[in-house]
Amino acid sequence: MSGRHGNKTRLFMSAKRKKHHFRIKRQTHFAPDTVPSNNENKENSATALNTPSKETQELMEENVSSSSSITRLNDLNIVCENDDDDCDEEISNDKLSGRRIVDIKYLFSSISNIKHQHTDCTFADLKFVKELRKGFTSQYVFRCKMCQKVETVHSEDPTSKLNTNTAIVEGILCSGNGYAQLNEICSVLNMPNMHQNTYTKIEQSLTPLIEECAIEEMIAAGEEEKRLAILNGEIDKEGCPVITVVADGSWAKRSYKSGFSSASGAGCIVGMRTKKVLFLGVRNSYCCICSRSIKLNKDVTEHRCFKNWSDSANAMEADIIAEGFAKSVEMHGIKYKNLVGDGDSSIMKKLLLKKPYGSDFTISKIEC
């Protein structure tokens, strides 16, 4: 949403709630003359905004006999953006442009199944009226030229458990990207993007599922390491399987041998035999909500705070790895006997200090 894309932006008016506001949204290939140029135009648009929802309901009813409402709809250059609505954008026939994602098999099947009783109308008799878009999923509304029946074709199965919106957010997260990158991709593709609020809602709903899956995978990896250790007779005097692990960490900010000042760091422990992750941790020393509240001298509002670190950045990695060692018996029922790692001596210092498996158990370091 940077200034360099100014020629690709368009002013849309939110509606339907008291919270009316203007919002700039990148949308390519829209004619510049559709942008409200002055207050008068904005007011006209605002007055007209209440109309489509009523018209939409009318259109959704079958056997609408009059076509005047469609004419009026087509005349309106309206885009309503509201994350609380079922539809976050209405695109009339004359404004339809750009690309979309569809479930091709479902779409073709829906089209071929259109047949009106008592008449021989088919898809060829339908006239496109408008698109109701919710993120990357759409409903295409048609009216039959012969019998005036209204047909709605979905871009994908609306009962699908993993719809395109969720799948895209998951894909963006898995590729290490965010909403800004999705916006860039959509801009290049000339494809309308989902509202940022919708993206955030989906992202928040996915986070616990991703965490759950990650834990399940780590537990399964631990089981495998345990089985292989028992198979190889690698058990300590207390009867606990012992394994070799590889561990390392990283910061979110590059450092050049000194000046470790990253606000975020991550670390993980991987089983040597399976090459699978057994533990991972994150340390954050900054939270923008907490920080802003402190700066403005205000009470911190309730939020999901990610700040969990107040020590130095270069101590993050050792703390995460030491936590992983301390939790190995609880998580996997195994002990980490040998640690393969880089020349960073702080991890071993921390492990010698913490003694996660008691003073009798020696953890060996293998330099790599």
Least distance from C-beta 250 to Zn ion, angstroms?
A: 22
What is the per-residue binding string for Zn ion in 248-277, x denoting contact by CB under 5 A?
------------------------------
- The span from the CA of 258 to the CA of 216, in Å, is 37
Q: Which is nearer to Zn ion, 167 or 290 (CB)?
A: 290
**Who's near 102: CB < 8 A, 6+ residues apart?**
138, 155, 156
Between β-strands 22-26 and 89-92, what pairing exists: parallel, antiparallel or unpaired? unpaired
- The span from the CA of 131 to the CA of 91, in Å, is 5
Least distance from C-beta 119 to Zn ion, angstroms?
A: 5
- The span from the CA of 341 to the CA of 275, in Å, is 14
Q: Residue 193 is which amino acid? A: N
Q: Which is nearer to Zn ion, 185 or 294 (CB)?
A: 294
Count of residues in contact with Zn ion, rule CB under 5 A: 10
Between β-strands 264-271 and 277-284, what pairing exists: parallel, antiparallel or unpaired? antiparallel
According to CB under 5 A, which one of 78, 80, 121, 141 is a site residue for Zn ion?
121
- The span from the CA of 75 to the CA of 171, in Å, is 37
Q: Which is nearer to Zn ion, 24 or 294 (CB)?
A: 294
According to CB under 5 A, which one of 31, 104, 220, 305 is a site residue for Zn ion?
305
Q: Which is nearer to Zn ion, 252 or 305 (CB)?
A: 305
Least distance from C-beta 352 to Zn ion, angstroms?
A: 33
Q: Which is nearer to Zn ion, 35 or 146 (CB)?
A: 146
Q: Which is nearer to Zn ion, 100 or 116 (CB)?
A: 116
Residue reference for tokens 């399940």: 216
Does 287 bind Zn ion (CB under 5 A)? Our answer is yes
Q: Which stretch binds Zn ion (CB under 5 A): 78-86, 108-116, 169-177, 344-352?
A: 108-116
Which residues from 128-167 bind Zn ion, rule CB under 5 A? 144, 146-147, 149
- The span from the CA of 318 to the CA of 327, in Å, is 14
Contact criterion met (CB below 8 Å) for 102 and 156: yes
Least distance from C-beta 127 to Zn ion, angstroms?
A: 11
* Axis-axis angle for helices 164-174, 179-189 (nearest 10): 120
Q: Which is nearer to Zn ion, 20 or 145 (CB)?
A: 145
Residue reference for tokens 């969990």: 308
According to CB under 5 A, which one of 290, 315, 326, 348 is a site residue for Zn ion?
290
**What is the separation, in whole angstroms, between the first and last Cα of the chain?**
44
Q: Which is nearer to Zn ion, 116 or 355 (CB)?
A: 116
- The span from the CA of 148 to the CA of 165, in Å, is 32
Q: Looking at 145-276, which runs of residues are DSSP E strands?
A: 150-154, 242-251, 264-271
Nearest to 169 by CA among 205, 218, 144, 143: 205
Contact criterion met (CB below 8 Å) for 150 and 61: yes
Q: Which is nearer to Zn ion, 149 or 335 (CB)?
A: 149
Residues in the chain: 368
Least distance from C-beta 181 to Zn ion, angstroms?
A: 25
Least distance from C-beta 62 to Zn ion, angstroms?
A: 10
Least distance from C-beta 342 to Zn ion, angstroms?
A: 32
CA distances from 186 to 152, 183, 341, 351 (A): 25, 5, 41, 48
Q: Which stretch binds Zn ion (CB under 5 A): 60-68, 161-169, 206-214, 284-292?
A: 284-292
Least distance from C-beta 29 to Zn ion, angstroms?
A: 32
Q: Which is nearer to Zn ion, 121 or 169 (CB)?
A: 121
Between β-strands 137-144 and 150-154, what pairing exists: parallel, antiparallel or unpaired? antiparallel
Least distance from C-beta 142 to Zn ion, angstroms?
A: 10
According to CB under 5 A, which one of 10, 23, 100, 116 is a site residue for Zn ion?
116
**Chain residues that interact with Zn ion, rule: CB under 5 A:** 116, 121, 144, 146-147, 149, 287, 289-290, 305
